């Protein structure tokens, strides 16, 4: 049995070696491009220009609330703590959000938060890795409070 790699390097053999490098590079690029497009979660807003027109006013209103938000996992339960400037949880708020991976929308879930007097709790199904809670809370006066909170599941 003769080996492809034995003997002198001739024109056809050099062309086969040279072109095989390009075939591998192009194949890898096509696979990576397809994966990038397939896993792209989409746009955050329909028009970034329109969203930018109210950004500063919404940011100032959110900062005026003086809230601090923190999310943790307690087993299979997501625990959201929001502390107001007086040190207690704000009342009369509507809490919502999406828990998911930063780059894969297929893992997104909408937690059903319930207030226990100190924190909002929701059952979730998470696996190991980095998760992100895209929090969307509305204060009693209608002020929106939006924040992204990172969670690491070991």
Mind listing the pLDDT tens digit for each residue in 82-103?
999 999 999 999 999 999 987 7
Q: Given pLDDT bands bounded at 50, 70 and 90, which one contains residue 110?
A: very high
User: What is the per-residue pLDDT for 4?
Assistant: 63
Write a three-state SS string for 84-116: CCCCCCCCCCEEEEEEECCCCHHHCECCCCEEC
Q: CA distances (Å), 58 to each of 7, 33, 91, 145, in order?
A: 73, 37, 20, 9
Cβ distance 101 to 111 under 8 Å?
no
Q: How many CB atoms lie within 10 A of CB 108?
A: 13
Stated pTM of the model: 0.67
Q: Best-predicted range by mean pLDDT among 10-14, 50-54, 113-117?
A: 113-117
Mind listing the pLDDT tens digit for each residue in 33-50?
998 888 776 666 778 888
User: What is the per-residue pLDDT for 2?
Assistant: 57
Q: What is the rounded CA–CA span in Å between residue 85 and residue 147?
A: 17
Average pLDDT over residues 61-79: 93
Average pLDDT over all residues of the chain: 90
Q: Given pLDDT bands bounded at 50, 70 and 90, which one contains residue 10?
A: confident
pLDDT of 122 > 90? The answer is: yes
The DSSP H or E segment spanning 148 is strand 144-153
pLDDT of 30 > 90? The answer is: yes
Mind listing the pLDDT tens digit for each residue in 141-152?
999 999 999 999
Q: What angle is formed at CA 114 by the lines to CA 109 and CA 119, rounded to 5 degrees?
A: 105
Q: What is the rounded CA–CA span in Å between residue 99 and residue 94?
A: 16
């Amino acid at each position: 049995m003769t080996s492809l790699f034995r003997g002198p390097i001739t024109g056809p053999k050099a062309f086969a070696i040279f072109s095989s490098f390009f075939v591998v590079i192009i194949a890898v690029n096509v696979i990576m491009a397809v994966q990038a497009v397939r896993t792209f979660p989409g746009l955050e807003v329909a028009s970034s220009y329109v969203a930018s027109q109210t950004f500063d006013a919404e940011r100032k209103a959110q900062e005026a609330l003086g809230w601090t938000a923190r999310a943790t996992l307690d087993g299979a339960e997501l625990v959201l703590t929001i502390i107001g400037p007086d040190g207690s949880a704000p009342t009369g708020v509507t809490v919502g959000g999406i828990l998911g991976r930063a780059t894969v929308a297929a893992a997104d879930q909408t937690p059903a938060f319930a207030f226990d007097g100190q924190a909002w709790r929701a059952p979730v199904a998470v696996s190991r890795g980095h998760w992100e809670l895209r929090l969307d809370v509305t204060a009693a006066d209608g002020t929106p409070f939006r924040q992204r909170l990172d969670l690491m599941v070991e």
